[in-house]
Amino acid sequence: MLTCKEASRLCSEALDRPLELRERLTLKMHLLLCSGCSNYNAQMARLRAISRGYAAGAFANEPAARGGSLPPDERGEGGANG
Ligand SMILES: [Zn+2]
């Protein structure tokens, strides 16, 4: 039986490389029995999907995604005493 620490490590590794059969089986067994790791696994998969979408430019039109510099604010000198 995997510990939660091992299970969470396998969850994140599963996103980067194909797990071996033994790893898949032990992880699946743990996820069936452990709701915490099951939630973690689901969140990792969702985060990965979101970050892939972000990398692909899915959020390019979001203002927060633009880290560019704003145009300088042009201010005229308002001389009241002049
Ligand atoms: Zn667990």
Plot region of 16 (φ>0 → left; ψ -120 to 50 → alpha; else → beta): alpha
> How far is ligand 1, taken at its centre, from the CA of residue 44, in Å?
14
> What is the per-residue pLDDT across 11-61, written as a single tens digit (0 to 9) for each?
989 988 999 999 999 999 999 999 999 999 999 989 888 888 888 887 666
**How many Å lie between the centroid of ligand 1 and the Cα of residue 39?**
9
Residues surrounding ion ligand 1 at CB below 5 Å: 4, 7, 34, 37
pLDDT, greater one: 72 or 16: 16
Q: How far is the CA of 34 from the centre of ligand 1 (A)?
A: 5
Give residue 5 CA to ligand 1 midpoint distance, Å. Answer: 7
pLDDT of 1: 84
Residue 7, pLDDT score: 96
CA of 54 relative to ligand 1 center, distance in Å: 29
CA 80 from chain centre, in angstroms, equals 54
Q: How many CB atoms lie within 10 A of CB 2?
A: 18
3-state secondary structure of 8: helix
